[in-house]
Structure 1
């Protein structure tokens, strides 16, 4: 049995991703999570606190995928596996782009807690890629990480707008080009 807090985060994750953050109100969240408004506000003083928790849960999913991609692989193979993980993400049913980019579009203030969570995720991801690029001997690991982040961002948006299999093939080819 999941706790009320877990149900709120799970419900928010599903609704925010499918419909947009600002499109989903607290009344709908509490109804679909099966909790009271008082329970909601006991766990999350404001809706934006739930948004941050939703993004933190998304970050953990990405982190688990990246950790799994690195497991037992050389740095170069890990980078390829991370790109495959991103490509796989774009081919799932109900894919609607990157939850972090989607949230950033709804929260333009760079000082807002939601944007700080997005920035934290992006810094972490870029650093992971940079460390791997440095480890496998790329001559400019900062550049390689930057290019890979741009490729990921583009793939996560293109996966919703274009043929996901074309996005996958293009992304896989691009990673090999960057790592030469």
Structure 2
């Protein structure tokens, strides 16, 4: 891993844990083990670093979700998507969705982080639509939207109501099963 990749990877972890605005350049450079001058040589502004961190997070997430989901047979992949979310929200280092968090901190829809979040969510929805279509759903657009909303609700609910995660996971998986069964 080169220095620029190291900076963005360590920055992503800080942004994810602490938030974008709450994480200063001093902490970013210290965590990466570089001087502020080195950080700025690779990323001329904190905004550029945030863009790079969100791009990395998108890439990591899509690889991770595809790897998990595509281990299941084609007919079970839409539900495997919900299982992926269910497993993720129960991880010890779960701090919500970096993209949902970004839209909360960068509420203007024309801001770069907000646009990256919208693009990420659009790609997740397109992936889920392809899973539903390949699995034989009668109305793949409708059921993929429903499953997407269950997943998003589980992410936010688990971040906000950490003590209720198990109940939220059970409820989300049960709702997804009902929706999926009705779609075939």
- Across the aligned residues of Structure 1 and Structure 2, the Cα RMSD in angstroms comes to 1.6
Q: What's 2:171 paired with? A: 170
Equivalent pairs, count: 179
Instruction: Tell me the distance in 1 between the aligned counterparts of 2:107 and 2:75.
Output: 35
Normalising by structure 1, what TM-score? 0.91
Q: What's 1:20 paired with? A: 19
Which blocks of at least 5 consecutive residues in structure 1 are unaligned? none
Instruction: Tell me the distance in 1 between the aligned counterparts of 2:3 and 2:35.
Output: 9
TM-superposed CA distance for 1:175, in Å, is 1.4
Corresponding position: 1:87 with 2:86: yes
Q: Contact conserved, 2:79 with 2:180, CA < 8 A, in 1?
A: no
Instruction: Tell me the distance in 1 between the aligned counterparts of 2:77 and 2:136.
Output: 13
Q: Contact conserved, 1:69 with 1:78, CA < 8 A, in 2?
A: no
Q: Which runs of 4+ in 1 moved over 3 A?
A: none
Q: What's 2:101 paired with? A: 102
User: What do the CA deviations read for 1:7-46 (whole angstroms, capped 9, x no partner)?
Assistant: 2122212211111110011111112211122221222122
Against the structure 1 CA distance between its residues 23 and 93, is the aligned structure 2 distance closer, same or farther, given a 3 Å change threshold?
Answer: same
Q: What's 1:157 paired with? A: 156
TM-superposed CA distance for 1:48, in Å, is 1.4
Corresponding position: 1:11 with 2:10: yes
Normalising by structure 2, what TM-score? 0.89
Which blocks of at least 5 consecutive residues in structure 2 are unaligned? none
Q: Contact conserved, 1:65 with 1:82, CA < 8 A, in 2?
A: no
User: What do the CA deviations read for 1:125-152 (whole angstroms, capped 9, x no partner)?
Assistant: 0001111111222222111121122111
Instruction: Tell me the distance in 2 between the aligned counterparts of 1:51 and 1:152.
Output: 25
